[in-house]
Amino acid sequence: MSTILRKIVELASNRPSSAPGSSRNRARLAQSSLGAFERLPEDVLVQILRLLGPKDAMKTSLVCKSWKSLVSDDRLWISFLQNQSQPWESIFFAETNLRFGCPVQTFSSEVPELSFISIYSQRAQVPGALIIDGGSGYCKFGWSKYDCPSGRSATFLEFGNIESPMHARLRHFFATIYSRMQVRPSTQPIVVSIPICHYDDTESAKASRRQLKEAIYSTLFEMNVPAVCAINQATLSLYAARRTSGISVNIGFQSTSIVPILHGKVMRKVGVEVTGIGALKLTGFLRELMQQKNMSFESLYTVRTLKEKLCYVAADYNAELRKNTEASYEVSGEGSFILSKERFQTGEILFQPRMAGVRTMGLHQAIALCMDHCHAAELNADDTWFKTVVLSGGTACLPGLAERLEKELHGLLPPSVASGIRVVTPPYGADTAWFGAKLISNLSTFPGPWCLTKKQFRHKSRFNLLW
């Protein structure tokens, strides 16, 4: 095998470097063949190229027309893309659905013809981006070529002195992230994800969204960032689950948003639902339950850890109460804690907020209401677009949540609406939106269709499409 590989590379390296367009060169290309390799079946040749790796495979395409045609075989480049750190299914989803920007392209029957050799080489050249997922509690940031976010900080909604104007807070926030990442703002594009806020379809909510959006863009352009994409968290979470339409449910720090999205666009006209239960309430409720049992603990961090390690959502709350559900967990520095029914009572407040003294709809009721509105709005010929529910946010990682939601939705909705409903667990846990942004930032066409440059921002030509 090694002699064959050496021979291929020799062929590639010995090739004289005549001008590609010259007539002599073209004549030689037309006459050339695979030579000694012609006897090998094509699959074997593709396998050899696969072993050579993308760089050397690309070099062999310089040997002659026949090698060039062999090297451009999609199977070869698909296998190279499959070896990347991002899952192949996500790369394929992004390149087929997101490469032309927002609103996303929809292909009812045929997926467009893609050349994977050019997708591979374009992806290798994309500049990448700094990604900031500005959650309502934490912000996660990191370089798009990293496997996961590299740091966390307070989010811009709560950053700095909240009395100071938004513009000054944003500047302080972005400057802090750039300094923690140790990069200069002018060196790469940025993708900023923003939690759903001012979610109504009223004129004043629109004006507030526009104001925030303009403040983010103008702050970043003042800092000389070359290209900016500000996009909402809910849409990114949907992309991370390889969907462009569906209901994105983010259980955030303070509240939970239920966002209908069709072809990548938030359907504010249909209605975004918000409930007042978030991660903070769950931690607070578990603390109360532990205090009622006279359990002593030093900090809220201990309660949060126990919530993350021991809590789950019961499939049937009343049946669970009759079971022995005792389990223990050792919190470093604090010792071992034993929880029993608190383990599923904590998550139960998502469905029965009154248990925690909160007057708001249960999560299942809010999602069912949103589905009802989507169904009634008749926005699309395909009436199944809203039947996939994608969960995101740390709290959505509670085991059993997706199954319980599916069960409750089937109980609440008429069979015609309920049939086909699927609740998807957060594909990347609390970092789901960050991974959605990563999909965009590594696209072969990035930053083009997704970002605005300073000049475009001044002219605001495509501005409204990006929110």
Ligand X SMILES: Nc1ncnc2c1ncn2[C@@H]1O[C@H](COP(=O)(O)OP(=O)(O)OP(=O)(O)O)[C@@H](O)[C@H]1O
Q: Is 308 in the site for ligand X (CB under 6 A)?
A: yes
Give the one residue of 77, 159, 174, 253 binding ligand X; rule: CB under 6 A: 253
Is 117 one of the binding residues for ligand X (CB under 6 A)?
A: no
Q: Write the interaction track for ligand X spanning residues 349-388; mark x where CB under 6 A is met and - where it is not.
A: ----------------------------------------
Window contacting ligand X (CB under 6 A); options: 25-33, 63-71, 300-308, 360-368? 300-308
Dist. CA 335–CA 332, nearest whole Å: 6
Q: C-beta of 397: minimal distance to ligand X in Å? A: 4
Question: CB under 6 A: which stretch of 219-227, 315-323, 364-372, 395-403 binds ligand X?
Answer: 395-403
Q: Which of 188, 395, 441, 444 binds ligand X (CB under 6 A)?
A: 395
Q: Which is it for the CA torsion 92, 94, 100, 103, positive or negative?
A: positive
Three-state DSSP state, 372: helix
> Is position 98 an interface residue for ligand X (rule: CB under 6 A)?
no
Cα 392 → chain centroid: 10
Cβ neighbors of 37 (< 8 A, separation 6 or more) are 4, 8, 45
Q: Pick the stretch among 83-91, 108-116, 222-230, 301-309 that binds ligand X (CB under 6 A).
A: 301-309
Instruction: Name the E strands within 180-313.
Output: 190-194, 227-232, 246-251, 256-262, 265-266, 273-275
> Looking at 62, 114, 358, 397, which residue binds ligand X (CB under 6 A)?
397
Q: Is the peptide bond before 426 cis (omega within 30 degrees of 0)?
A: no
Q: How far is the CB of 408 from ligand X (least distance, A)?
A: 19
Among 12-20, 23-31, 267-275, 393-401, the segment contacting ligand X (CB under 6 A): 393-401
Kindly tell me the burial class for residue 348, based on how many C-beta atoms sit within 10 Å of its own C-beta (0-12, 13-18, 19 or more).
buried
Cα–Cα distance measured from residue 175 to residue 192, given in angstroms and rounded to the nearest whole number: 14
Q: Which of 252, 260, 271, 353 binds ligand X (CB under 6 A)?
A: 252
Task: Report how far residue 250's alpha carbon sits from residue 127's, in angstroms, rounded to the nearest whole number.
Answer: 30
Q: Is 58 in the site for ligand X (CB under 6 A)?
A: no
Pairing of strands 246-251, 388-392: parallel
The answer to whether the beta carbons of residues 141 and 431 sit under 8 Å apart is: no
Asked if 142 interacts with ligand X (CB under 6 A), we say no
Given candidates 246, 393, 427, 447, which one binds ligand X under the rule CB under 6 A? 393
> What single-letter DSSP state applies at residue 394?
G
The residue among 185 and 278 lying less far from ligand X, judged by its C-beta, is: 278
Site string for ligand X, 158-197 (x = CB under 6 A): -------------------------------------x--
Q: Is residue 235 part of the contact set for ligand X (CB under 6 A)?
A: no
Instruction: For residue 298, report the phi and psi dihedrals to the nearest 5 degrees.
Output: -85, -40
Q: Indicate the SS3 state at residue 279.
A: helix
Q: Give me the residues paired with residue 154 across strands.
A: 138
* Stretch 118-137 residues interacting with ligand X (CB under 6 A): 135-137
**Part of the chain binding ligand X (CB under 6 A), chosen from 178-186, 248-256, 355-363, 375-383:** 248-256
Site string for ligand X, 192-231 (x = CB under 6 A): ---x------------------------------------
The residues, any chain, with a CB within 8 Å of residue 375's CB and separated by 6 or more, are 383, 386, 417
The stretch near ligand X (CB under 6 A) out of 47-55, 246-254, 328-336, 459-467 is: 246-254
400: region left, alpha or beta (phi > 0 left; psi from -120 to 50 alpha): left
In this structure, are strands 327-331 and 265-266 parallel, antiparallel, or unpaired? unpaired
Helix (H, G, I), strand (E, B), or coil: what is residue 368? helix
Site size toward ligand X, by CB under 6 A: 19
Question: The tokens of 427 are what?
Answer: 């594909």
Q: Quick one: which H or E segment has residue 428?
A: none
In angstroms, give the least distance from the CB of 308 to ligand X: 4
Give residues 415-454 in contact with ligand X (rule: CB under 6 A). 430
Binding site for ligand X (CB under 6 A): 135-138, 195, 250, 252-253, 279, 283, 304, 307-308, 393-395, 397-398, 430
